Chain A
Amino acid sequence: MPRVRSKRSWHRVASAATAVFMTVGVIGASGVAGATTAKDVGNASAGSAVNTAKSQKLVGPKGTGLTRGISSSQIKVGCVYTAADFAGYEQAIGAAFSAINAKGGVNGRKFSLVPCLDDANSPQTNLTDAQQLVNQNQVFSVFTLSADTLPSTTTFLNNNQTPTFGWGFDPGFCGNKWVFGFTGCLAPGTLPTSNAFHNSFSSSIVTPMAKLMAPLTGKQISFCLQSDTLPASISANHQEATMISALGYKVGLNANNFPTSSTGVNPTPFVQAIINSGCNITYLSLPFASIATLSYSLKAAGYKGKIMDFTTYVPGLLGSSAALAGALAGEYINVSTGPTQEGGGAYANSEVAALKAAGQPAFLTLGGMIGYSEAQMLIQFVKGAGKTLNTTTFLSAASGKVVSYSNQPGHGPGLINWPAGHFVSSDGSSTVQVEGTKYVPKDSYAQYPTYVFGK
């Protein structure tokens, strides 16, 4: 029988050869070219198992004398934040700038704020807004206040020598040369070196809470911690729980399961869990809207303990929403962003005065306190840089310096060392309580020492 080599078998050979060639080609090409990334100027990508630095080094490029956003008469500042969560941020920054500009600015340069961009709680928008501020608006510095600041965003700003100010609980605020948390680095455990928590964030929460429970002490005080599922919240919870145990109190519940996109969540399962654990003080680390619902539901279900959060301090809001005031009745709020208007004091009063002078409503909100403090820091650094202002002079002004974010020397509550502030926190807090439609101060603002525990 003659063997007939049909056309089909040739086709099969050809296809197989092509497949082999393609596979080899892809692997080869990726071996040759694929691994090449653009010139690597430093990568603080959190969670990367590949990097294990052995010593604490600041990541980021040295200043190269850039004058983006700087002219002889003006310093351009950009701003991106979550408007719905931090009302008053933009107004307070504007008020701080107006106050310094009224005195002629710093070395003849006035501060100009590009209207703030709202990231609407989207990390993606936050990133693109930051890119736009640098690339298109050509700002010198970026102010940000958002729960959604990605490492990519801070890396981008860091790589572009853009001084960035924010609330330091996202990983990017730790260890980056150009990124400054206004109370230092609050995100623990992100630095490869630390098993230790060099952090006062927890002590500024746990200690005031325990104080509220007096005369109860020790194991008589049982904490319930309820947070959402954001990594920052989970790690904060972990910190607090560790600290609670270390200080001799009891952890009744440590739950990180409240859905993050949180409107419309049925609070009943969470209420039940808290009540069943028998704790006498509950700390809520949740988005604003959920706290009101959960607080109310707790009380309606018969919970008799204290409830505390750090979010629902919005002066002016209680008066306009009777339902909200009712739901939050008796709530304790840990305000860690500065002294409150109700608590008074020189710093708070000066902030309020600045707002009034700028024609803004004289309410010092959470966002407003942070914005004002960030502005003070920038102003202090720029003063230190002197007449020649560029990224090099700025950076040297921001290193090895003690900065106080009070504008009344010697009376400021906020003291933070740099560059240490890139690695540790310098946190403080005060406590207020909701009574009727007012926030009544219960504990005045104080800075808490860095508490080192663990190995």
Chain B
Amino acid sequence: MDQFIALIVSGAVSGAIYSLVASGLTLSYTATGIFNFSYGAIAFSSAYIFYTLNTGMHWPVWISAVAVIFGFAPILGIILDVAVFKPLARATESAKIMATVGLLLAIPAMTQWILDEIIAVTHSGVPNSSVVLQTGLPPGLAPIPIKSWTLPFHTPLTSNGLVVLIAAAVCAVALWLLLGKTSLGLQMRAVVDRDSLAQIRGINNAKTSRYAWIFGSVLAALAGVVGAPILGAISVNAFLTVTFIASAAAVIGGLKSIPWAFAGGLILGVLQSLIAGYIHTGLNGFSNAVPFLVLLGGLIFFTRDRSRRGGSTADEVPPPDYLKGMPQWRKGLPWIVAVAFLTVYVCFLANDFWAGVMAEGLALSIIFLSFTVVTGMGGMVSLAQATFCSMAGLTTGLLFTRYGIPFFLACFIALALTALIGVIVALPAIRLGGIPLALATLALALLGDNVLFQWNFLNNTSNGWTIPRIVIGPLNLTSNRVMAMSLLVVALLIMLLINNLKKSPWGRSIAAVRSSEIAASSSGVAPVRVKLALFAISAVIAGLGGIFFTSYQMSAGSFTTPALDGLLWLATVVLFGIRRPAAAVLAGVASSATNIILQSGFHWWSWVPSWLSWNGTTSSEIPLILFGLGAVGLSRNPDGFISQMAGQNHARRVKRAAKKAALAAGQPTGIVSATPEGVAAILSEEAGIAAQVVETEGQLIGSGTVHGGTIGDTVPLDTDAVLLIKGLHVSYGDVEVIHGLTFAIERGKITSLFGVNGSGKSTLCSTISGLVKPGSGSIEFDGNDIVKMPAYRRADQGVLVAPESRGIFPGLSVEENLMLRLNAAERDEVYQRFPRIGERRKLMAGSLSGGEQQLLALAPVLIKPPTILIADEPTLGLAPLVIAELLTLFQELRDRGTTILLVEEKVRDVLSIADNVAFIELGHIVWSGPREDLDDERLVSAYLGGKLS
């Protein structure tokens, strides 16, 4: 019994550290969509700086703690938000992971490096990194010498342990108060629920994100400072392990609930402790594996996957192909040059050592190509690629060395087994996508490392196997040069394979499944089979690369490609470009070469001036810092830096060509296209649209549907316009949707804007709300151009947009929805006016009926009327009675002075209350004018082509 209690208490102490990090992880993930792997690094750096201040510079404990937890951590959080996370918010999952992995590596390196430099320059004698990293038992907040108490049941508890428990309890309460009881917390939860809606409701999501990062950093810093004495050392690895276990706890909270994440951390700590104490399996590393089993189980059973399976929405738009329209040879040119250069270098210029570096790099390239398949093509982030390498390498070594099986057969069997492992890793992908899938693959990878590859039979009791360099006929792979060239050929073959795969029917199946599983399966594609097959292929490619890699090293062990390498590799490939096979090859060679270059420096021939030489650095920190900077750079262009380069080239080409073409055609030079043919195409398309619009106008007038009013994109001179839109051009990517629209919305009237799907109605609403930025034109609100104003400020200024599909937060309660805009007295007014809403005030808004949701969305508008309300398809999907109630509401608003723009596809209902009417077609206003100038009957037959429904 004594042991039981003792184990629970000590387990709770470690668990409390996990809880702190898990809360930070959950908070920032829910607020920003970024799963921050680098929290471990922030904890490490905080512990490091605390040690330097407290032990090194002899600052008092409490001042050091405050400086780190409330000084360093928030500042770091803000810096990260500005430099990395904000630009990354809309990037793909793999780009986000890459950035946080880059930070994970760079932050500890920068901390050590910066402090070492300061210490060296100031000669202050403060211990530098080589001392700090060796420190056993770093001090925490508890006074030294460490006190220890014996609780009932002979349970020891140290003062540091007590500090951890208290810190965790305080944070738990603080978080609960913050999120549940403050307006900032409510705003954060609203942003998490529906980000774009929150913006147009006046919530500055940049602010909420920033606070999320600040609080997350503070939690991580606290975990670092109080956790270091418990962990026993200031070590990046220790905190990294803590981060992974905390991820398991966050998953127990469903990646959404902070209280559950907190509890999850404690549960995991206690569970680990009890298992270590009572269960003695023969399996090495079993107790280490427990958190990852929990992580995996939690992901599979508990996660409600909010992202679309197979990837996130951000993934769906492939990056622009900058070389579109260019001849084939031009597209291939950079890569042909690269291959030629590489061949010449390896065969003639490189010495044996550098040929070896290239060989190793090409082996890595083949491994990286496996990422292109599963993540670039399939959209599924896999962090288990290193596991495939280890599996293939170890199995080959085992079969070849212990059993004497011929090498090729051993490889074949190893790859078959690796494919099997690939299928196992793929199983979570059936149900999960996005970050949950990435975490699941990571959990499997860590299980592999801790259990499977610790099996003495497989890893030769930790010594590993010697893998030979083989001789195939005339090819003697003992020579680094021969090995490099052979690997180059293999890499090119695999690239070709992948390119063919993309264009094949199978490739189309993959793209379909990635886009929408449901649509794909209804078209006869089997998503499960596609995903499993994709992982299996990726595993085989990675395994092949792994065999080459271990053959180059001539050694295969459980340590050759540890699971964490998989994170680093993914980050590297994403940095170069995850979708392009050629980028993966370049990434492999570059990572191998860069390390060596950094260590050996540059030494030229004797006639080069000596200041161009550099002795290199054995500092392990510099490469990590550079990598981290790469991460930051990536956040600027999430498609990778090759794409960024391509983009810059493309932009230059476009500017040049567009200017030339436009001058030749005598047109204004704002048209975007790379070639004269492209310019001509755009011009003709615009002409076509203009012609269509003119025809419609003619129809409207000719049929007698309208008489008077204003034709086309013009504004009558005497209009008292609350909102004046002039010459608006809006595009999505390369496609222009609104082509120079001009429109005025008259003050104090209800204007209804009609148009069919695709006419640009919703785009116009989004542009007015500020969620979409126009290419050119102005939007004047009461005389001030608000085009540059961010969305959340427009709401405060009085421009309120009620978007399509109900402007409510389904994840917040009815009362909380109202709290975002109304105070208690105003809410009571709403409950009185709409008793149905009052009855349901504690329920989740998502559980209301469609009509009730729409009323909930518009109720605050009645209490605090904005200057102008723009409602996008307000009657969509509602019952007639509810529609009637809505229309009464609009009229009441109008009578109280609010200007209203109703954007609708269905004409009948809205027409009954409209003061002004306008028609939009193909991104132009076709006609606008007072309601009286419109003939209902003719409208139906001439314009709508049917009965007034």
Chain A interface residues (CB < 8 Å from chain B): 26-27, 29-31, 33-39, 43, 45-50, 83-85, 87, 115-118, 120, 122-124, 127-128, 131-132, 135-136, 148, 150-153, 155-156, 171, 229-231, 257, 259, 261-269, 272, 288-293, 296-297, 300-302, 312, 314, 317, 320-324, 326-327
Nearest 6 pairs between A and B by C-beta? A152-B555, A30-B408, A263-B238, A30-B406, A289-B233, A292-B136
B242 proximal to A (CB < 8 A)? yes
Given the interface contacts A135-B356, A300-B148, does A291 sit within 8 Å of B554 by beta carbon?
Answer: no
Task: Decide yes or no whether B146 CB sits under 8 A from chain A.
Answer: yes
Could you pull out 12 A-B pairs where Cβ atoms are within 8 angstroms? A35-B406, A83-B130, A84-B130, A116-B618, A124-B561, A135-B356, A297-B156, A320-B55, A321-B137, A323-B144, A324-B137, A327-B136
Q: Is the pair B401, A38 in contact by a Cβ cutoff of 8 Å? A: no
Q: Assess the A272–B6 pair: CB atoms within 8 A.
A: yes
Contact A36 B470 (CB under 8 A): yes
Q: Is B692 at the interface (CB under 8 A from chain A)?
A: no
Segment at the A interface, from B458-466, B800-808, B824-832, B927-935: B458-466
In the bound complex, residues from chain A placing their C-beta under 8 Å from that of B408 are 26, 29-30, 33-34
Q: Is the CB of A151 within 8 A of B471?
A: no
Expressed in whole angstroms, the Cα–Cα distance for A170 and B561 within the complex equals 21
- The contact string, 1 if C-beta is below 8 Å from chain A, for chain B 142-184, is 0011101010001010100000000000000000000000000
Q: Which of B136, B241, B269, B620 has the most CB of A within 10 A?
A: B136
Contact of B134 with A87 in the complex, beta carbons under 8 Å: yes
Within 8 A of A (CB), among B232-281: 232-233, 235, 237-238, 241-242, 269, 272-273, 276-277, 280
Could you tell me if A34 and B134 are in contact, using CB atoms closer than 8 angstroms?
no
Q: Which residue of B lies closest to A299 (CB)?
A: B148
Least CB distance, A171 to chain B, in whole angstroms? 7
In the assembled complex, B609 has its CB within 8 A of some CB on chain A: no
B238 nearest CB neighbor, chain A only: A263
Q: Which chain A residue lies CB-closest to B6? A: A268
Residues A47 and B352 in contact, CB atoms below 8 Å apart: no
Chain B window 277-293, contacts with chain A (Cβ cutoff 8 Å), 1 for yes, 0 for no:
10010001101100000
Confirm or deny: B14 has a beta carbon within 8 angstroms of a beta carbon on chain A: yes
In the complex, are the beta carbons of A118 and B620 less than 8 A apart?
yes
Q: Chain B residues near A267 (CB, 8 Å)?
A: 10
Residues from chain A with a CB closer than 8 A to the CB of B285 are 229, 259
Closest residue of chain A to B460, judged by CB?
A: A47
**A37 touching B471, Cβ below 8 Å:** yes
Complex CA–CA separation, A290 to B232 (angstroms)? 7
Contact pick for A135, options B288, B352, B477, CB 8 Å? B352
* B465 contacts A269, C-beta separation under 8 Å: no
B746 CB, nearest partner CB in chain A, Å: 68
From B154, B231, B287, B557, give the contact of A150 (CB < 8 A).
B557
Residues in A whose Cβ lies below 8 Å from that of B354: 136
Closest A residue to B288 using CB positions:
A259
Instruction: State A116–B130 Cα separation when bound (angstroms).
Output: 14
B129-143, CB under 8 A of A: which get 1 and which 0?
A: 011011111110000
Q: A34-B407, A50-B404 are in contact. Are A300 and B137 (CB under 8 A)?
A: no
Measured between alpha carbons, how far is A135 from B401 in the docked complex, in Å?
A: 26
| CB neighbours of A289 from chain B (8 A) | 136-137, 232-233, 235
Say whether B596 faces chain A, with CB atoms less than 8 Å apart: yes
Of the listed residues A37, A127, A312, the one surrounded by the most CB atoms of chain B closer than 10 A to its CB is A37
Query: B135 — which chain A residues lie within 8 A by C-beta?
Result: 317, 321, 324
Name B402's contact: one of A35, A49, A132, A288 (CB within 8 Å). A49
Per the bound structure, the CA–CA distance linking A90 and B680 in Å amounts to 71
Q: Which residue in A35, A152, A263 is a CB contact (below 8 Å) of B553?
A: A152
Q: Apart from A300-B156, A323-B144, A324-B136, what 5 extra A-B contacts exist at CB < 8 Å? A: A122-B559, A264-B14, A266-B14, A269-B3, A288-B136
Asked whether A136 lies within 8 Å of B596 as measured between CB atoms, the reply is yes
Query: Within the assembled complex, what's the spacing in Å between the Cα atoms of A269 and B136?
Result: 20
B633 contacts chain A at the CB level, 8 A cutoff: no
Q: Which of B28-58 contact A (CB under 8 A)?
A: 55
Residues of chain A lying within 8 A (CB to CB) of residue B461: 47, 231
B104 within 8 A of A: no
Verify B139–A27 contact, CB threshold 8 A. no
B478 at the interface (CB under 8 A from A): yes
Determine if B797 is an interface residue (Cβ-Cβ < 8 Å): no
Nearest CB of B to A403, in Å:
28
A37 to B238, CA, bound (A): 41
B409 at interface (Cβ–Cβ under 8 A)? Answer: yes
- The smallest C-beta distance from B658 to any residue of chain A, in angstroms, reads 50
Query: In the complex, which residues 453-496 of chain B have their Cβ closer than 8 Å to any Cβ of chain A?
Result: 454, 460-466, 468-473, 476-478
Knowing A36-B471, A151-B466, say if A45 contacts B401 (CB, 8 Å): yes
The answer to whether A34 touches B554, judged by C-beta atoms less than 8 angstroms apart, is: no
If the complex has contacts A47-B461, A263-B233, are A323 and B353 also in contact, measured as CB distance less than 8 A? Answer: no
> Which residues from B are CB-within-8-Å of A291?
136
Q: Is the CB of B232 within 8 A of A27?
A: no
Residues of A contacting B154 with CB < 8 Å? 301-302
In the complex, whether B11 has a CB less than 8 A from a CB of chain A is yes
In the complex, the answer to whether B356 meets A27 with C-beta atoms within 8 Å is no
- Verify B139–A322 contact, CB threshold 8 A: yes
Q: Which of B230, B404, B462, B618 contacts A230 (CB 8 A)?
A: B462
A289-B371 Cα distance, complex, nearest whole Å:
37
Contact A37 B146 (CB under 8 A): no
B478 / chain A contacts, CB cutoff of 8 Å = 38-39
CB distance from B186 to the nearest CB of A (A): 36
* Bound complex: CA A148 to CA B463 (Å): 9
Which of A231, A264, A321 is the one whose CB lies under 8 Å from B232? A264
Given contacts A128-B553, A327-B137, contact A30 B352 (CB under 8 A): no
Given that A37-B470, A291-B136, A300-B158 are contacting pairs, would A231 and B462 also be in contact in the complex, using a CB cutoff of 8 Å?
Answer: yes
Q: Least Cβ distance of A51 to chain B in Å?
A: 10
- B335 interfacial by beta-carbon distance below 8 Å: no
B471 near A150: Cβ-Cβ < 8 Å: no
Residues 330-354 of B contacting A (Cβ, < 8 Å):
352-354
The listed residue (B55, B133, B230) touching A84 by CB distance below 8 A is: B133
Q: Which residues of B sit under 8 angstroms from A37, Cβ to Cβ?
A: 407, 468-471
For A123, what are the chain B residues with a Cβ–Cβ distance below 8 Å? Answer: 464, 557, 559
When A38-B468, A322-B144, A327-B146 are in contact, do A47 and B242 touch as well, CB less than 8 Å? no
CA distance A326 to B559 in the complex (A): 35
Which residues from chain B contact A31 at a C-beta distance below 8 Å? 406
B669 part of interface (Cβ distance < 8 Å):
no
B7 is an interface residue with CB less than 8 A from chain A: yes
Give the distance to chain A from B603, nearest Cβ to Cβ, in Å.
12
Give, as a whole number of angstroms, the nearest-CB distance from A131 to chain B: 8
The answer to whether A293 touches B464, judged by C-beta atoms less than 8 angstroms apart, is no
Quick one: given A26-B408, A45-B401, A48-B402, are A132 and B559 in contact (CB under 8 Å)?
no
Q: With an 8 A cutoff between CB atoms, is B127 at the interface? A: yes
Q: Which residue of A lies closest to B241 (CB)?
A: A264
A366 CB, min distance to chain B CBs, angstroms: 11
The residues of B that contact A135 with a CB separation of less than 8 Å are: 352-353, 356
B604 part of interface (Cβ distance < 8 Å): no
Docked complex Cα distance between A288 and B472 (Å) = 47
Give the residues in chain A near B460, CB-CB below 8 Å: 46-47
A87 contacts B471, C-beta separation under 8 Å: no
State A326–B284 Cα separation when bound (angstroms): 32
Say yes or no: A269-B596 contact (C-beta < 8 A), given A50-B404, A115-B618: no
List, in ascending order, chain A residues with CB within 8 A of B412's CB.
26, 30
Of A35, A150, A156, A322, which one neighbours B407 at CB under 8 angstroms?
A35
Q: What residues of chain A lie closer than 8 Å to B232, measured between beta carbons?
A: 262-265, 289-290, 292-293
B392-419 vs A, Cβ < 8 Å mask (1 yes, 0 no): 0000000001101011111010000000
For the complex, give the distance between the alpha carbons of A151 and B410 in Å.
21
Distance in Å from the Cβ of B616 to the closest Cβ of chain A? 10
Chain B 771-810, CB within 8 Å of chain A: the 1/0 string? 0000000000000000000000000000000000000000
Nearest opposing residue in chain B for A138, CB measure: B353
Choose from A34, A39, A268, A301 the contact partner of B273 (Cβ within 8 Å). A268
